[in-house]
Amino acid sequence: MISRVLVAMDGSKITERGLEFAIEAYPDAEITVLTVIGEPSGMMGEAVGLVFEESRAEGTEDAEVILDRAQEIAAEDGRELEGIIGYGNPASEIVTRAGEFDTVVIGHHDSSIADRLFIGNTAHSVVRNCPVPVTVVR
């Protein structure tokens, strides 16, 4: 039985659809929405890290907007949810937190081959590394 669901959201319509799916598919489950503020990788150098620190507060404000929207979607169905903000690589954050849940729901953005080669695809990485079942919503 699925009692705890993690839904990853980035503010896009596809991730909103993922939340709507989770609400409908798991009517009795606790739903937690995770939005992740990306941080620079080591390959980007120290200067990028300094700039990022200045914009972290702005990223947190953006994340709060996403979580507020998630609350609105849940309220439309008479549901409540918990919202959490993660920091770092989105796929890594989702996979790390997934162990606390029975399943993960994630939206899949179509991406180009270049995006997948150089940036990676969050949904693909989550599916490949997640310790619990993952539903990918398109």
Strands, E assignment, 23-133: 30-37, 82-87, 103-107
Angle between helices 122-129 and 90-98 in degrees, nearest 10: 30
Mean pLDDT of 112-122: 59
At 114 the pLDDT is 53
- DSSP helix/strand/coil, 83: strand
CB burial of 102-128 (b: ≥16 within 10 Å; e: otherwise) equals bbbbbbbeeeeeeeeeeeebbbebbbe
Q: What CATH topology corresponds to 4-137?
A: Rossmann fold (3.40.50)
Q: How many helical (H) and strand (E) elements, i.e. helices and strands, does the chain have?
A: 5, 5
Using CA atoms, how far residue 60 sits from 36, 39, 55, 72, 83, in Å, is 9, 12, 9, 18, 12
Q: What is the dihedral of CA 3, 124, 16, 31, to 10 degrees?
A: 10
The pLDDT tens digits for 17-40 are: 999 999 999 999 999 999 999 876
Q: What is the pLDDT of residues 92-109, one digit of tens each?
A: 999 999 999 999 999 987
Domain residues of the chain, as ranges?
4-137
**Across residues 1-12, what is the average pLDDT?**
96
Q: Is the pLDDT of residue 46 over 60?
A: no
Mean pLDDT within 104-131: 77
